[in-house]
Structure 1
Amino acid sequence: MRRGILIMVIVALSLAACSGSEEGAEKSKGTVTLGLNNWAENIAVSNMWKVILEDKGYDIELKSMEKSPVWAGLSQGDLDIAAEVWLPTTDKPLYEEYKEDIVLHEAWYEGTGLGLVVPSYMDITSMEELNDKKNELGIEEIVGIDPGASLMEMSRTALEEYNLNYDLVDSSGPAMMSELKKAYEDEEPIVVTLWNPHWAFAEYDLKYLEDPKNVYGEADDIFFMTRTNFSDDHPEIVEWMNNWQMDDDSLGSLMATIKDADDAETGAQQWIEENEELVSEWTN
């Protein structure tokens, strides 16, 4: 009798162990690596997808780097996803270099902007005025971002096309925003390289300097891209991300929530909880 009971217990424990193992396997769908550069909206949406995909059972790694290494890493298969490709203008050089080794997917945001930006309290409207008003403005430089960014390459071209007597300073997105914040609070003149979508346009009263020579090109749309064969490995992720659509309101609120949170992932989690219906439209 005791032997029979012992056998039953062992069988029950074995079945429980198998069940637990299967349940664990279901929860772990593998590791997916996202490459991101430190543009505000890129940090925001990459952390948003990290939270979404981890909730779906994936292990997600975020790797932060400049934009060119993101493309290179994706083309070599070291990264799986990059959430931000600006086309047809801004990322055209990178796209032409790597297009055979990456897969471009659907656009998730339409109608970007980028160029030289100043606070609205500055008495200047066009890049053509920068030289004439240099003494009045009392500044010698334009505060840029990462040196490898396409926006910086366009800005170097703008200096040549408009023959601007300013230094374009390499920096980073966060460092540039720190300089803008300080100048804005003191109502000091400043010229920065900036883009939208960006939370700065909600936080501060800013304006693009007119670009009559169209150095910065027409408005882009933002796409996401994956390494080759990623769709075969994880078709549901590609399906969800192809359903993904954001506008100024949704993306602006995501960036603002993250900016005010303790860290980007915590902010993304909060925003997802407050926008469950929208996120469900992408993933269900």
Structure 2
Amino acid sequence: MPAHAEDKAISMGTMNWEDLTPISAITKKVLEDAGYTVKLTNFSEWGIAYAALTKGDAQILISQIDFIAQDYWNRNKNRLEKLSAVSHGLHDFIAVPSYVTIDSIEQLNGVADKFDSKIIGIEPGAGLMRETADVISKYGLKLHLVEGSTAAMTAALQSAIERKEWIAVTLWEPSWMAQKFDLKQLKDPKDIFPPPQTYFWVAQKGFAESHPHAREIIASVFVPVADITAINAAVKDGKTMDQAIEDWIKAHADLIKRWENIKKD
């Protein structure tokens, strides 16, 4: 299809998460500056997001298809296509404050009492919680995984650090907590946690062919995990998400311009 005939309206899907929100907003900005009209929809869970993508309610979707949304991708991939990688490095782990004198998951049982035999988790049903439960089982840990919320886990972590108490929490990167608190990731010698994951833009099959220039622009965008972490740290320090993203865009104006002005086919 000639470039001049390309549809300039694009419907974009995302999840309202601290890692996906910056990626989606930055990609949306680049496309809009290049002349596209972008409708951004936040979905509440992967099943709804992938249903919208396959039905055409969204044309492109940001997704971690290696592990987090692997089942949904595999179920629908014959009707979808992978456009490009837009970030890399998402991974889950168990973290402890840096003053805690162990370095590996294998050492947890020997000091379980110091952690009150608990690993403080987040919302039940989260992929991180499923992975951590698997870790507990395969390492034979005597610690109990405590369900709760991200906010409750964060409060418990901050309180323990202020008191120099031992605490073990479920955590992920990118997260502002990894930047805000002096933490260390416990080694996982059995490699039970999934390896670092890549964030992809995926689309309805045929999108790249019908939107060749948009596809080239999307493929040019790459946001490092460290930058996502910094954006969310700025939000935690008082900025709105919109302001933190806008500041990142201003600080990377030359890079943004190169993405926007990628040569048309």
Kept in 2, the 8 Å contact 1:80–1:230? The answer is: yes
**CA–CA separation in structure 2 for the residues paired with 1:278 and 1:80:** 25
Match of 1:220 among 197, 210, 230: 197
Structure 1 unpaired stretches of 5+: 1-27
Residues 158/282 of structure 1: CA separation in 2 closer, same or farther (3 Å cut)? same
Residue equivalent to 1:241: 218
Equivalent residue of 1:201, what SS? helix
- Residue 121 (structure 2) pairs with residue 143 (structure 1): yes
Q: Residues 136-215 of structure 1 correspond to what in structure 2 (within 5 A)?
A: 136-145=114-123, 147-149=125-127, 151-171=128-148, 173=150, 176-215=153-192
- Residue 70 (structure 2) pairs with residue 73 (structure 1): no
- Residue 250 (structure 2) pairs with residue 273 (structure 1): yes
Equivalent residue of 1:75, what SS? helix
Residue 222 of structure 1 deviates from its aligned partner by 2.7
Equivalent residue of 1:132, what SS? helix
Identity %: 26
TM-score, normalising length: structure 2: 0.79
Equivalent residue of 1:160, what SS? helix
Residue 68 of structure 1 deviates from its aligned partner by 4.5
Residues 90/267 of structure 1: CA separation in 2 closer, same or farther (3 Å cut)? same
Q: Deviations over 1:223-254 (max 9, x none)?
A: 22123333345443322121112335543433
Residue equivalent to 1:95: 73
Task: Tell me how large the CA RMSD over aligned residues is.
Answer: 3.0
Which amino acid is 2:141 matched to? Answer: L
TM-score, normalising length: structure 1: 0.75
Kept in 1, the 8 Å contact 2:14–2:21? The answer is: no
**CA–CA separation in structure 1 for the residues paired with 2:240 and 2:152:** 17
Q: Deviations over 1:89-124 (max 9, x none)?
A: 554444333322332222233444322112212222
Residues 224/183 of structure 1: CA separation in 2 closer, same or farther (3 Å cut)? farther
How many residues are matched?
A: 254
Structure 2 unpaired stretches of 5+: 1-6
Residue equivalent to 1:85: 64
Match of 1:34 among 4, 10, 13: 13
Kept in 2, the 8 Å contact 1:142–1:166? The answer is: no
Which has the greater radius of gyration? 1
